[in-house]
Amino acid sequence: MRIAILLFLPALLAAQSPEITLTQNLVISRSCTVKKERYVLRADSQNYLLPTEAGAVTPVITIEGDGITVDFNNAELVSTATADRPDLFTGLAIRIRGKFVTLKNASVRGFKIALLAENAASLRLENCDFSYNYRPRLHSIREREDFSDWLSYHRNEKDEWMRYGAAFYLKNCSNVTVKGCRATGCQNALLMTGCNDAVVYNNFFHYNSGLGIGLYRSSRNKIMHNFLDWNVRGYSHGFYERGQDSAGILLYEQSSNNLIAFNSVTHSGDGLFLWAGQTTMDTGEGGCNDNLIYGNDFSYAPTNGVEVTFSRNTIQGNMIQECTNGIWGGYSYQSKIMGNLIAKCKTGIAIEHGQNDTIARNLFMDDSTGIHIWARESQPADWGYAQKRDVRSRDWIIDRNVFLGVRKPLKIANSETVAVNGENLFHDFEQLLVVPKPNKGLKFFRNDVYGSLDNLNKVWKDPLLSSFRTVNFSHEGSPDNPYAPLDIPLVELREPDSLPDGMLAELPAEFPRGRQFIIMDEWGPFDFRRPVAVLDTISGNRYSFVLMGPSGNWKITDMKGVKNVSAREGTVPDALIVEKDPASDVLELRFDYVCPEDITGTFGEKIPAGRPYQFEFRRLEKKFDWKVQFFNYEGNTAPPNFSGLKPAAEKQVSDLYFAWWDKPAEGVNEDRFATVSTTEFTIAPGEYTMELTSDDGVRLYLDGKLIIDNWDVHEPETDEIKVRLDGKHNIRIEHFEAGGFGTLGWRLKR
């Protein structure tokens, strides 16, 4: 027996994965287990990651080979970067190359990209937590958005998405499995380009400021059973609802035949954002087609619960509540929108230039407008799509839907061959049909109408609607009705199977829900894992706050600019009323907070139960008097100075914030104009930050000294600089707009 044991011992030892420690630039080429420790290693300083033309970035850890399993054993890999400046994170933590590689139980934070996998067929990622990696500082504030916060994912042929960072970036990988992973406190969680036949399920990709999951030229993937909530930016409750192209799920550029099912995708900029891609826009061919979007919760989106454009898809069985548009389907064709619950949206379904689309068996509840379909009079001249395809709004079937409490169930304009057919039910409306522009072949038959007598009389006075029937109004249609009902079979519903071990992705019943709970700060959406003071309303010098977060005790430790306060301590959640000192330019509150449970800070730091945690509210309300002069110029470049130019217009403003889509003032060019903005002010001594957003070029002079110089043509971007101010100062801002959209905005923060 002893001899047998000795003979088999080498084989047993070889079968066990060796334990390793992580070191700088380590290459792992065989299966192993990482010793459970916290490893602090240096990231490559390259910020714009582009591993092709721009030069290869050096990863901290490389995993390469076939059939390798690397178990991090919950070890943590952290960069040397300052944790509270995620906008400055650089480098790549882990690169994977090879087939049948498994990475599990890894934790990575503090990098521009946590993991990059290239050409890694049959890659498996399990139980990895890549939270708190790169995310930029946001410049939008409570009262207005900043246009430099807008995202653009329209191109990724050269890995342009890498400039936005990612927890997981998969490139040209097939048959990937991503299961049980986490990414929060990033800009983007999972980005996939050129990836097919993947299964992405049971993941928590939430509370990021860009995307939960993004697909580019990626098809036949299953995105199922994931929590993708609060992937959002560009929202301030009661002020603006822009989303700025953030989304829970993004499908771009020829991403087809994907299954998107059983996900919780609430409180995101768009729930799902699908765009055919530049290839389709140029050629009129292809698209993001034949995706099945089934059984998801896309509620509480600032913009669209689902946006599907220039493509053919099926949207079925989804929950969509309290969005600006439940479904936006511009230029969609041969699409089926079936069996969805669309409630409390401004518009339930909005589709311009749709063709051969079917809207069937949906339940609309308490929407302002139910279905809005229309066509514009003309198309953009630079759209190849519109030049090469028929883009009329035509051949619609609106069949067997229910409209309950929808103010205006139907709004139809400039469309052809629209059949409102087959037992649609309309109940409790203000105006059943709105026709802003004439239609051709708009036909109604065999529909049931329930409502007040006044509303029903309005219906029957319209001869177009005379073929409606109702059980509580004695009218069965006109005997000479020229419209005959269409014999439309019930549209077949598709019901995909859930994954056998797929989790129920659904917000807990007691969890906050509703757009009022999209609470943004300069680092992204609030995640309810720590306390925060949210400014609710302002009435004169009376400021109302809501204190939100895990239950715990709070007390005010310091105040500035406060005349009176309703309470100095209490228990979260709570409300607080502050009377501001009208003589002060600032309002500042600092709090101590103690929670009986562990909490997590803004940058992922862990605060043990019972340990005091500090949080604060700051607001600068200094008033400025700006004089803004507008100048026209000729040629392709702006003049180096404006001394020889005569102003074409002039304005006085208290807030330097402009967004121009056309001419900024009478007598000023739509393109090729410049501005000079000046102000003088007196301020209390202290350290301040100036933020200057521009499109295009801008210069800022403080007391005659040039401190920001960004004098070129660029998309909206923000420059910021810290300054010491004390007493009287003057500012001069020069700006030019070369063409297209233009913006100029200046902010001062303590």
Token pair 């699409």 in the structure block, residue? 335
For residues 30 and 45, is the Cβ–Cβ distance under 8 A?
A: no
Predicted confidence band of residue 465 (pLDDT cuts 50, 70, 90): low
Q: Which CATH code, of 3.40.50.1950, 2.60.120.260, 3.40.50.300, 3.30.230.10, is assigned to 626-749?
A: 2.60.120.260
Taking residues 445-454, report their average pLDDT.
62
Which stretch of 212-221, 514-523, 632-641 has the lowest confidence by average pLDDT? 632-641
**Largest CA-CA distance found in the chain, in angstroms, rounded:** 103
What letter does residue 4 receive in the DSSP assignment?
H
Q: How far is CA 638 from CA 485, 569, 627, 697, in A?
A: 64, 56, 20, 9
Tallying the residues shown for the chain, one arrives at 750
* C-alpha–C-alpha distance, residues 673 and 662, integer Å: 11
Q: Tell which residue, 449, 487, 442, has the closest CA to residue 464.
A: 442
Distance CA 267, CA 229 (A): 6
E strands, 516-661, where?
A: 520-521, 524-525, 532-539, 542-560, 562-565, 569-580, 586-594, 599-600, 606-607, 613-620, 626-632, 649-653, 657-660
Number of C-beta neighbours around residue 79 at 10 A:
23
Gyration radius from the chain CA atoms: 29
For the residues 213-236, what does the mean pLDDT come to? 98
- 84-119 pLDDT, tens digit per residue, is 999 999 999 999 999 999 999 999 999 999 999 999
Enter the tokens of residue 20. Answer: 């390793």
| Contact status, residue 40 vs residue 80, Cβ threshold 8 Å | yes
Evaluated on CA atoms 228, 234, 239, 240, the torsion sign reads negative
**pLDDT score at 489:** 58
How confident is the model at residue 232, as a pLDDT? Answer: 98
No. of H helices and E strands in the chain?
4, 62
For residue 455, pLDDT over 70 is answered with no
pLDDT in tens, 475-486: 233 334 433 444
pLDDT digits (tens, 9 = 90+) for 236-283: 999 999 999 999 999 999 999 999 999 999 999 999 999 999 999 999
Provide the pLDDT for residue 34.
Answer: 98
How much is the pLDDT for 11?
43
Q: What's the rounded mean pLDDT across residues 287-297?
A: 97
pLDDT at 474 over 70: no
Alpha-carbon distance of 359 to 315, in angstroms, equals: 10
- Give the DSSP letter of residue 137: P
Is 41:57 a contact under the CB 8 Å cutoff? no
246 close to 224: Cβ distance less than 8 angstroms: no
Output the pLDDT for position 467.
Answer: 45
Across the range 688-706, mean pLDDT stands at 95
When pLDDT is averaged across residues 283-309 and rounded to a whole number, the result is 97
Tell me, what's the pLDDT at 642? Answer: 75
Ramachandran area for residue 428 (φ above 0: left; ψ -120 to 50: alpha; else beta)? left
- Looking from the CA of 579 toward its CB, the CA atoms found within 13 Å total 5
Domain residues of the chain, as ranges? Answer: 1-138+157-196, 528-618, 626-749
pLDDT at 634: 83
